[in-house]
Amino acid sequence: MNDIYVVRNGAKFGPYTVENIKTYVESGQILVFDAIEINGIHSTVRQLLKDNRVKIKIPTKGNMLQQIKSIFTVLIFPNWSTIKNELFKNKTFLLLAIIGLSPAIIISFFSLISNIFTFYIIAIYFSFVWAIFYYFLFKTNQVNNKLVIALFFAAQLATFFIPSIQQFPPFEQIYALTKSDSIFSRMIGFTFGVGLVEEVTKALPLLIILRKAKEPLIPQTLVYYGLISGLGFGTVEGVHYQTSVNTQFDYSAAFFLNIARLTSLPFLHSIWSAIAAYFLSFRYLYPKFRSGLLFVAVSIPAILHGLYDTFGWSIIGFGVMIISVLLLMNYLNKANQFRSNLINLK
């Protein structure tokens, strides 16, 4: 018979005879699922044995209990030294374990301390998941990890000043418009009484970072910082709504609103802050246009924020969400073109 080659994972082994194949299958070195090649014709070991009417008998290693005993310490329950030396060195495994198990640990232990504290820790968890996502998409070599952590918590602290700001004129009168029956008045109230105040608050730490920077920060670097600032802000705001406003709804509505406050809404805050960060970075790279760029950095996120708050979970509200993301992506994609245009402007 013609020479037989076994093909596995792109590699070819052989040549073999049918008897060789039979022997190797019974010893476990070749599998009946392996592909074979004979004079350029492809088939499988199973088909080869069937065509040649060759019967195989693969011996087992003892009975079922003996097999379980043999593999127990190797596969089912490795010894502690194996876990310590191998698994803990696997960063992917550790990250997966942290992400997968943290909610259960938080609910089991922190709920014994305080419900509000548990809400906060769970919000931190979801922000951590977003931060990992942002890390792989936006982080640059200029990013300082310690500064990222400080920025995240600084943005959280900033949220506590929002109610005080909204109680001072003219913001007090503007904020009152959010409860107006007129959609136009509500739009003004949400844009200038909420959006403007919150977006400026999230942008202030970014301005401090720019002033203290020891080198010019490229737009993508500050965008990453903006995303983190938005996450920090959205974390605390989410906890506030979950423990106050959302409790006034029925179970189903409260559940869905709480999910939104943990996922999409911190993400939206990140996007708006990142848009502000994008233009703020150009403000310091091209100081001739600093006033105009500052206005744009504040106004675009404030308007998007105000429109979303006005229309909420409606078609228009969802449209604002999508436009916010598309704008940021477009800005990042056109960063070099925007830089060139600023250089050429007289």
> What's the pLDDT at 91?
67
The enclosing H or E element of 103 equals helix 91-109
User: Cα–Cα distance between 226 and 270 in angstroms, integer?
Assistant: 7
> Per-residue pLDDT tens for 210-227?
998 888 899 999 999 999
Task: Please check the confidence at residue 54 and state whether its pLDDT lies above 70.
Answer: yes
Say yes or no: 235 and 160 in one domain. Answer: yes
Mean of all residue pLDDT scores within the chain:
86
Contacts from 130-134 at CB under 8 Å and sequence distance 24+? 130/231, 130/266, 130/267, 130/270, 131/228, 131/231, 132/95, 132/99, 134/224, 134/227, 134/228, 134/231, 134/270
How confident is the model at residue 88, as a pLDDT? 59
- Residue 102 within any structural domain of the chain: no
Q: Is residue 109 part of a domain?
A: no
267 — pLDDT class (breaks 50, 70, 90): very high
Q: Look at residue 85 in the predicted model and tell me its pLDDT.
A: 59
Highest mean pLDDT among 161-170, 259-268, 336-345: 259-268
Same domain (yes/no): 225, 330 = yes
Q: Would you say residue 39 lies in a domain?
A: yes
Q: Are residues 14 and 125 in the same domain?
A: no
Residue 182 and residue 268 share a domain: yes
Among 227-231, 235-239, 338-342, the range of highest mean pLDDT: 227-231
CATH number at residue 8: 3.30.1490
Please check whether residues 161 and 257 belong to one and the same domain: yes
Examine the domain organization and report whether 36 and 157 are in the same domain.
Answer: no
- The stretch 26-42 carries a mean pLDDT of 86
Torsional class of 162: left (φ above 0), alpha (ψ -120 to 50), beta (otherwise): alpha
Residue 152 within any structural domain of the chain? yes
Q: Which of 12, 27, 51 is the last residue of a domain?
A: 51
**Same-domain pairing of 258 and 118:** yes
Domain co-membership, 227 together with 314 = yes
In the chain, the number of structural domains is 2
Residue 276 confidence class, pLDDT cut points 50, 70, 90: very high
Query: Residue 307: which pLDDT band, with cuts at 50, 70 and 90?
Result: very high
Region 16-27 average pLDDT:
88
Q: What is the mean pLDDT of residues 323-345?
A: 88
pLDDT for the residue 223: 95
| Residue 98 belongs to some domain of the structure | no
Query: How far is it, in rounded angstroms, from Cα 241 to Cα 259?
Result: 11
Percent of the chain with pLDDT over 70: 91
**Other C-beta atoms within 10 Å of 298: how many?**
18
Shared-domain flag, residues 194 and 340? yes
Its domain, for residue 26, covers: 4-51
Tell me if 61 is assigned to some domain. no
| CA-closest candidate to residue 271, choices 314, 316, 226, 311 | 226
Cβ(270)–Cβ(206) under 8 Å? no
pTM, to two decimals: 0.75
Please check whether residue 56 lies inside any domain of the structure.
no
pLDDT tens digits, 74-110: 655 555 555 555 555 666 767 777 777 777 777 777 6
Residue 107 covered by a domain: no
Residue 321 and residue 208 share a domain:
yes
Same domain, 250 and 141: yes
pLDDT (0 to 100) of residue 301: 96
